[in-house]
Structure 1
Amino acid sequence: MVQLSKRISERAVSVWRIHAFIRLAIFFLGYSLISFFLWRFGDLKWLVLLLAVLYLIHFSLSVVFWPRWRWQRWRYDIREKEMEVECGVWTRRRTLIPMSRVQHVDFRQGPLLKKYQLASVVIFTAATVHEIPALDEQEAEQLCHIISTFAKVDDRDV
Structure 2
Amino acid sequence: MSIELKNKIDPKGLTVWRIHAMITSFITLIITAGVFVCTYYFDWYSWIQYALLALWVVSAILGIVVFPKIRWSRWRYEVREQEIEIQSGLFIVERTLVPMIRVQHVDTIQGPILKKYNLSEMNISTAATRHTIPALKAEEADELRMRISKLARVAEEDV
What is the CA-CA distance between 1:54 and the residue it aligns to? Answer: 1.0
Unaligned runs of 5+ in 2: none
Q: Tell which deviates more after alignment, 25-34 or 79-88.
A: 25-34
Name the residue aligned to 1:113: 114
Aligned twin of 1:35: 36
Q: Does the aligned pair in 2 maintain the 1:7–1:74 contact within 8 Å?
A: yes
Counterpart of 1:115, as a letter, is: K
Q: Look up the match of 2:21.
A: 20
Once the 2 structures are TM-superposed, how far is the Cα of residue 35 of structure 1 from its aligned partner?
Answer: 1.2
Q: Are 2:9 and 1:8 equivalent residues in the alignment?
A: yes
After TM superposition, give the deviation of residue 43 of structure 1 in Å. 4.4
CA contact (8 A) 1:5 1:78 kept: no
1:58 is aligned to: 59
Q: Match for residue 156 of structure 2?
A: 155
Q: How many residues align?
A: 155
Aligned residue for 1:126, secondary structure, equals coil
Instruction: With the length of structure 1 as denominator, give the TM-score of the two structures.
Output: 0.95
Structure 2: how far apart are the matches of 1:26 and 1:55?
Answer: 11
Question: Residues of 2 paired with 1:33 and 1:120: CA distance?
Answer: 35
CA deviations over 1:130-156 (Å, ceiling 9, x no partner) = 110000011101110110011011011
- Quote the residue 1:90 is aligned against: 91
* Superposition TM-score, scaled by structure 2 size: 0.94
Q: For residue 47 of structure 2, what is the amino acid of its counterpart?
A: W
Can you list the C-alpha shifts for 1:113-143, whole angstroms capped at 9, x where unaligned?
0000000111010011111000001110111
Which aligned runs of 4 or more in structure 1 are off by greater than 6 angstroms?
Answer: none
C-alpha distance after superposition, 1:46-91 (max 9, x if no partner)? 2211111111000000011111111000000100000100000111
Between the aligned residues of both structures, percent identity stands at 43
Kept in 2, the 8 Å contact 1:81–1:98? The answer is: yes
CA distance in 1, matches of 2:146, 2:122: 10
In structure 2, relative to structure 1, the CA distance for the partners of 1:61 and 1:136 (3 Å cut) is same
d(CA) in 1 for partners of 2:86, 2:95: 6
Counterpart for residue 125 of structure 1: 126
Contact 1:119 1:137 in 2 (8 A): yes
Alpha-carbon deviations, 1:9-65, whole Å to 9, x = none?
010010001011111111111110111111343241122111111110000000111
Question: What secondary structure does 1:68 align onto?
Answer: helix
- CA distance in 1 between counterparts of 2:44 and 2:111 reads 45
What code does the residue aligned with 1:146 have? R
Partners of 1:7 and 1:76 within 8 A in 2: yes
